[in-house]
Structure 1
Amino acid sequence: MFVMGVNHEKYNNSLKIVSSASCTTNCLALWPSIDGAAKAVGKVIPELNGKLTGMAFHVPTPNVSVMDLTCHLEKAAKYDDIKKVVKQVLQGPLKGILGYTEDQVISCNFNRDTHSSTFDAGAGIALNDHFVKLIFWYDNEFGYSNRVVDLMVHMASKE
């Protein structure tokens, strides 16, 4: 099981069958975390099993979901610092795979969005410096399909 930007470099062309996980796993694994619908993230990043939790739920569009990720932070962090770190991460190898917005958005804003997920900086909240709720939007079909294509291109490059 491979997620672009997380463990795709572990692919080798001796594998005959591969999985690009699920749209939820592609949304979560990149931040990274686990929810009930995406236990597969634990297969992609085993060291995170049981350390984070989140929940995805469909919104009134046929293809867009929103992820509510609740985290207990080991090291204290202000919400503004979390936003800065996310912005920095998106300038590296995850550029184009993950997104970031401070706009006021709703589900239909993410129809045909190519990102695996987009961090909604305005929707999250820090209950304190150790407990945060982060919100991510994603197009279940379009964003996921883009990652499947990315994985196929990566696999072809190893032939």
Structure 2
Amino acid sequence: MFVMDMDHEKYDSSLKTVNNASYTINCLAPQAKVIHDNSGIVEGLVITVHTITATKKTVDSPSGICGVMAQNIIPESTGIVKAVGKKMVKQASKDPPKDISGYNEDQVVSCNFNDTYASIFDARVGSTLNVNFVNVISWYDNEYSYNNRSVDFMAYMTSKE
């Protein structure tokens, strides 16, 4: 299992089976790497929110019900997460490679993201419980961005053949 910009360089063309990790890992890993490299992570808790249940289609249905559900995720603003270092995450989003980490300071909802970024840090929301517990919100488009990471990984694999 590989994640672009995390460990993709460990790919070896002798491997018979490879995996581009999940879309959740592709979102989590870039932000966790930046935070860990700059501040260190001792423990972590990951919560993913899916607005579409197992009984609903994961893409828009003809009735549009799923589309409405997926377009209305709104994070609760609890202040900027200062302990994470807003400036370090913003700087990391400017560094190569492109399309891995994004940065957002706008007031947004989930339908605002149809993007190639694997992970888009939201500087407006999140919370700090204490110096060791920080809640970070990061957005991603699980189909479009994940497919872009898959293409990136396949291109990288091809370059190593």
- Which TM-score bucket, shorter chain as reference? 0.7 to 0.9
Show structure 1 runs of 4+ deviating over 4 A: 64-67
Structure 1 position 61, deviation (Å): 1.0
Encode CA deviations 1:1-33: one digit per residue, 9 max, x unaligned: 000010001001111210001111111122228
Q: Which runs of 5+ in 2 are unaligned?
A: 34-40, 52-68, 76-80
Number of equivalent positions: 132
More strand by share: 1
Contact 1:126 1:132 in 2 (8 A): yes
Contact 1:124 1:134 in 2 (8 A): yes
Question: Rg: which structure is higher?
Answer: 2
What RMSD in Å do the two structures reach over aligned CA positions? 2.6
Q: Which runs of 5+ in 1 are unaligned?
A: 34-47, 68-77
Encode CA deviations 1:32-54: one digit per residue, 9 max, x unaligned: 28xxxxxxxxxxxxxx7x82111
Pairing 1:5-154 to 2, within 5 Å after superposition? 5-32=5-32, 51-59=43-51, 60-61=69-70, 79=82, 82-110=85-113, 112-154=114-156
TM-score by length of 2: 0.72
TM-score by length of 1: 0.73
Q: 2:19 & 2:73 partners in 1: Cα distance? A: 21
Give the % identical residues.
49
More helix by share: 2
Q: 1:141 & 1:147 partners in 2: Cα distance? A: 10
Secondary structure at the aligned position of 1:90 is classed as helix
Look up the match of 1:70: none
Q: 2:73 & 2:155 partners in 1: Cα distance? A: 26
